Amino acid sequence: MTSYFLRRLLLVIPTFLGITLLVFGITRMTPGGPVEKIISQGQQAMGEGAGGGGSDDRVRGQALSDEQIADLKAQYNFDKPIHIQYGIWLGKLLSGNLGDSYRYQEPVWDLIKDRLTVSTYYGVMTMIITYLVCIPLGVFKALKHKSTFDNMSSVLVFTGFSIPSFVMAIILLFIFAANLEWFPLGGFYGDEYDDMGYWEQILNILYHSVLPLGAYLFGSFAVMTVMMKNSLMDNLASDYVRTAISKGIDFPTAVRKHALRNSLIPIATHFGNNISVFLTGSFLIEKIFDIDGMGLLGYESVLERDYPVVMGILVVSSLLLLIGNILSDVCVAIVDPRIKFD
């Protein structure tokens, strides 16, 4: 078993290299990089009033000499072949340096660190509320299978599931922020945040996060509720529960002591996947509610061709995802001793 997980961990390395190499290659091979940005900015500055030459308009006089361009390329390492550039980037990464952002001239890690807090807050809240709602709801639905409550809650849960979270964000924003004005239109906290006391700050953040959390949550109930319900019903139909019942144990005890424990297995195995939720917050929701999280940082960095930040986020998110996959297998092994990996 240990050797299996060690092998899995070792396999993370080639996969990680593959992912980063692929994205690195794409960012270097496509036009619009930092050097071209500076060149076109120079052109715009020079050709002011000349009808605003397009960035690809190389015929018009260039503000920078060939030498300066070569210097710029050398500064960004763009003059070397791609595999060398990748090697340099990887070497820095191994020494714990993600590089500096082109846009902010700040270390990438500092940028990511700030946003991680925001995304983690939403990730953890979503996770906790999902478990708190789904497990009891699933159990109740399994016990009351085919009842009106079961049907109505299914309709509700699947409706939530079918609406993409960004559309849900738009709906919530439209109803509760724009029209009813119960909640703020966006932001992680309000303008007067810095002047508030500790408890007020917490309340302010909670107040601002009601709508975004709603958008994250509505869609997330379906999968786990149905999983919980089906798994409990499978177990209720199995022989060991029948035996317990026929031996005279009353139904609630049979559920609580026998069926429920086993039906939590799939829920537990799902737990490992949560690790990625911590940071890959939907950038669409963050964009709609104007929250400075990881998703939005990644999106803006791609738009602005801030490649060090793009790569930095990729490193963090892909590592967490890959390790999350392994973790969820570890969870399976811990919870269910019958399962053997080899």
Partner 1 sequence: MKLNPTTLKRLKQFRSIKRGYYSFVLFMICLLLAALAELWINSRAIVVKYEGHYYFPTYGAVIPGTTFGFDYDYETVYRDLQKRMAEQNEDGFVLMPLVPYNALENDFKEDSYPPAAPSLESKHFLGTDKTGRDVLARVVYGFRIAIIFSLILLFFNYAIGMTVGSMMGFFGGKFDIIMQRLIEIWTNVPFLYVIIILVSIFDATFALLITIMVFFGWTGLTFYMRTTVLQEKVKEYALAARVIGAGTFRTIFHHILPNTISLIVTFIPFSVTGGITSLTSLDYLGFGLPPPTPSWGELMSQGMEQLEVASWIIISVVSGMVAILVMITFIGEGIREAFDPKKYTTYE
Site residues, partner 1 (CB under 8 A) = 11, 14-15, 18-19, 22-23, 26-27, 30-32, 145, 154-155, 158-159, 161-164, 166-167, 170-171, 173-174, 178-179, 230, 233-234, 236-237, 242, 245, 251, 283-284, 288, 298-299, 302-303, 310, 314, 317-318, 321-322
CA 184 to chain centre: 23
The least distance separating partner 1 from the CB of residue 278, rounded to whole angstroms, comes to 16
**Beta carbon nearer to partner 1, 204 or 293:** 293
Residue 285 CB-density burial (10 A; 0-12 exposed, 13-18 middle, 19+ buried)? buried
Q: What is the C-alpha to C-alpha distance for residues 213 and 216, in angstroms, rounded to an integer?
A: 5
Tell the smallest beta-carbon distance from residue 338 to partner 1 (Å).
Answer: 18
CB of 293 to partner 1, least distance (A): 15
Which CB sits closer to partner 1, 128 or 237?
A: 237
Q: Considering beta carbons, is residue 69 or 321 the nearer one to partner 1?
A: 321
Please report how close the Cβ of residue 304 comes to partner 1 at its closest, in angstroms: 11
Residue 185, SS3? coil
Per 3-state DSSP, what percentage of the chain is helix, strand, and coil (rounded to 5)? Answer: 75, 0, 25
Q: C-beta of 46: minimal distance to partner 1 in Å?
A: 24
Other CB atoms within 10 Å distance of the CB of residue 130: 20
Report DSSP letters for 14-75, one per residue.
Answer: HHHHHHHHHHHHHHHHSS--HHHHHHHHHHHHHTTTTT---TT--SSPPSS-HHHHHHHHHH
Q: How far is the CB of 55 from partner 1 (least distance, A)?
A: 11
Q: Are 116 and 279 in contact (CB under 8 A)?
A: yes
Q: Which is nearer to partner 1, 293 or 298 (CB)?
A: 298
Asked if residues 216 and 165 have their Cβ atoms less than 8 Å apart, the reply is yes
The amino acid sitting at 24 is: F
Cβ(147)–Cβ(237) below 8 Å: no
Q: Could you tell me which of 251, 103, 272, 181 has the C-alpha nearest to residue 111?
A: 103
Measured from the Cβ of residue 74, the count of other Cβ atoms closer than 10 Å reads 12
Q: How far is the CB of 47 from partner 1 (least distance, A)?
A: 22
Between 118 and 232, whose beta carbon lies closer to partner 1? 232
Closer CB to partner 1, 31 or 49, in the complex: 31
Q: Which is nearer to partner 1, 161 or 207 (CB)?
A: 161
